[in-house]
Structure formats: C-alpha cells, structure tokens
Amino acid sequence: MFPRAFHYHRAGSLKEAATMLSQLGPEAKLLAGGQSLIPLMKLRFAGPPHLVDLNFIPGAAYVKQDAGGLRVGALTCHADIEDSPAAAAIPILHDCAAGIADVQIRNRGTIGGSLAEADPSGDWAPVLLTLNADVRCLGPKGERTVPISKFVVDAYTSALGEDELIIEVLIQAPPKSSGGAYIAFKRSAPVYASASAAVRLAMEDGVCRDAAIVLGAVGLTPVRALEAEAALRNNQVTAKTMEAAAEAARAAADPQPDMRGSAEYKRQLVTALVKRGLEVALKRARGEKVELSHIYA
C-alpha cells in the first residue's frame, strides 16, 4: 500500500526544522530514521500532510566525549553508537545499540527518533534511565533540557512540544567501580522485545553503594524497580540478594498480554533477565570484560 499524499520539506538546520514544525502545525511529522513512521504511513495508520526531513542537516550525528560523559547527536544511528569507541567505554550502551533489530535497521534508525517515538517496547529509554541521562530539546522559543526520567510520560507520548525536536542526548559517565548491562528477550532479531532489563551497579569494597534497575516492554512506560534496587543497595551482591532483587523486579512489572506472551510469561522473563543482567553488571564493575547479547526464542 502507498502512503497518502504529503508535502515534503528538507530542513537545512535543527533551528530551521523547529521553525518548520511551528509554521506547518501539529500534524507535521519529522523524518529521522523513519523506521517507525514510514511503515505506519505505508499502512495508512499515519497520514501526515507535511513531512520534515532531518537527514540532510549537517553535524547532527555524533558521539563525543566531554568531561562529564558523552554527548550523542539526535540523528546518530544505532550502528554508529554500536561502533563508537567512546560509547564502548560504557558497555551498557553497546549492549543496547548492538541488540536493536537487524543491521539494516541499526544503520537507519536513530537514537533521537527512538526516544521521540516513546514506544513502550523501545530499547533506549530503559538504558538511559539507569545512566541519569538528559535530553536536549529545541523549539521556536529556544532550547531546554529534560531529564530522561521526565521525558517519557506515557505510551507513545513524550515531553516534546508539538513544535520541538530532540537535538542531543547527554549521558553521564558512570562512577568508577560500576558496571551496567542491558538484555532483552525477543522472538527474533527484527521484532521488539517481549521484556527487557537495564541494570547498573556501583560497587565499593564489595558492597553495592547504588543500583538502578529499569524494565522495558512490561508497562506503558519504562518501569523503575525501586524495591529491587533497595534489595541490593548497601548489601553485598550475592546469589541471594540478586534473587531478591529479581523477585522484586518481577513484582514491579505491569505487562499486558499480547502476541509476545501472557502477562505471567513476561513476569517470568523479567526475573530471568534481571538475574542475568546483574551477573554481568557485577563482573563489569569488577573490571572484567564480558560480552552480552540478547536472548532469542
């Protein structure tokens, strides 16, 4: 099926794109990687009268180190993050980027487009929540920075205004002696996860001083498993405490039954994914290099 007719606009800068959105009205859509929008348009589930193409904006795709961590341009594709030495220094970022769909999608899809979509099954929001990232947004009135914890407000709904776009993601460098991991369960590579878990541990003298556990695809927004974090904080990370954290994460999950599985099935997945993620995060916090890949049915 072909999409409905639309007017095509090519933005030459981020500022120009924001101006176009303001002038064209709320029904105008931005085209970044197009991995979500184009299929919806072809099926005529979406029919924007105006499409603003961001792909010809110079300098909007990058991964840069600074004193506080990383700066990632909104148009940076997943494959570039996967291959970035700077991102590899924070292994959970590589876990996420390398596990998104297949090679074709990773070379087209962008981190900014993924976050703006606010899909409950998306990969980046849970990962960035464990890193206390910020999202820089631009609109006709200027720039503002939104903490990732306040950016995704509901399923497919972000904090972006109708005439705003994401321009950059700011990622804090994790403290020393910390480790993170992101793992998802999928029926196959191209599909969204049935459940996913992003975890981060900050260790000191064998004791967990801080922990973050965020679940994906088991709620309308990413689920922060606070009681699971509390089970680890100020304790040694042992098989027993990891088991307690995994059970607490299971209780925090609020999945809906769908073609990917029943609600109970997804809760069981959460338990296994959190355990595995914690095992890898602990090894990485100790300085070990551990490869991690998603689990496929």
User: pLDDT, tens digit, for every residue of 134-187?
Assistant: 999 999 889 999 999 999 999 999 999 999 999 999 999 999 999 999 999 999
Q: Kindly report whether the global pTM for this prediction surpasses the value 0.85.
A: yes
Q: Which of 172, 196, 212 is the last residue of a domain?
A: 172
pLDDT above 80 (res 1): no
* pLDDT for position 24: 95
- Same domain assignment for residues 141 and 200: no
- Same domain assignment for residues 292 and 182: yes
Find, among 274, 158, 272, the residue nearest to 225 by Cα.
Answer: 274
Report the alpha-carbon distance of residue 222 to residue 161 in Å, rounded: 20
- Same domain assignment for residues 187 and 255: yes
Q: Please list the residues that pair with 73 across neighbouring strands.
A: 168
Q: Are the beta carbons of 75 and 61 closer than 8 angstroms?
A: yes
Is 273 in a helix, a strand, or coil?
A: helix
- Same domain assignment for residues 102 and 140: yes
* pLDDT for position 31: 93
Residue 102: give its domain's CATH number.
3.30.465.10
Residue 14: give its domain's CATH number.
3.30.43.10
The total number of structural domains that make up the chain: 3
Query: Which stretches of the chain are DSSP H helices?
Result: 14-24, 37-42, 78-82, 85-88, 91-99, 103-106, 111-117, 124-130, 148-151, 226-232, 239-252, 263-285
Q: Are the beta carbons of 20 and 28 closer than 8 angstroms?
A: yes
Whether residue 1 lies inside any domain: the answer is no
- Same domain assignment for residues 108 and 193: no
- Same domain assignment for residues 32 and 68: no
What is the domain range of residue 98? 63-172
Indicate left, alpha or beta for 122 from its phi (over 0: left) and psi (-120 to 50: alpha). beta
Q: What percent of the chain has pLDDT over 70?
A: 100
Q: Which of 156, 172, 188 is the last residue of a domain?
A: 172
Q: Which of 64-68, 177-181, 272-276, 285-289 has the lowest mean pLDDT?
A: 64-68
Whether residue 57 lies inside any domain: the answer is no
- Same domain assignment for residues 44 and 119: no
* pLDDT for position 35: 86
pLDDT above 90 (res 2): no
pLDDT above 90 (res 190): no
Report the alpha-carbon distance of residue 228 to residue 213 in Å, rounded: 7
Whether residue 231 lies inside any domain: the answer is yes
- Same domain assignment for residues 148 and 226: no
Q: Which of 142, 172, 202 is the last residue of a domain?
A: 172
User: pLDDT, tens digit, for every residue of 99-113?
Assistant: 999 999 999 999 999
Q: Look over the chain and give the mean of its residue pLDDT values, rounded to a whole number.
A: 95
pLDDT above 90 (res 36): no
Q: What's the average model confidence in pLDDT over 193-210?
A: 97
Residue 186: give its domain's CATH number.
3.30.390.50
Q: What's the average model confidence in pLDDT over 65-85?
A: 95
* pLDDT for position 83: 97
- Same domain assignment for residues 164 and 188: no
Q: Are the beta carbons of 217 and 195 closer than 8 angstroms?
A: yes
Whether residue 58 lies inside any domain: the answer is no
* pLDDT for position 235: 97
* pLDDT for position 68: 83
- Same domain assignment for residues 99 and 168: yes
Q: Which residue has the higher pLDDT, 11 or 67?
A: 11
Exposure string over 134-171, b if 16+ CB within 10 A, otherwise e:
bbbbbbeeeeeebebeebbeeeeebbbbebbbbbbbbb
- Same domain assignment for residues 226 and 267: yes
Q: What's the average model confidence in pLDDT over 237-242?
A: 97
Dihedral (CA of 269, 271, 158, 93) sign: negative
User: pLDDT, tens digit, for every residue of 216-229?
Assistant: 999 999 999 999 99
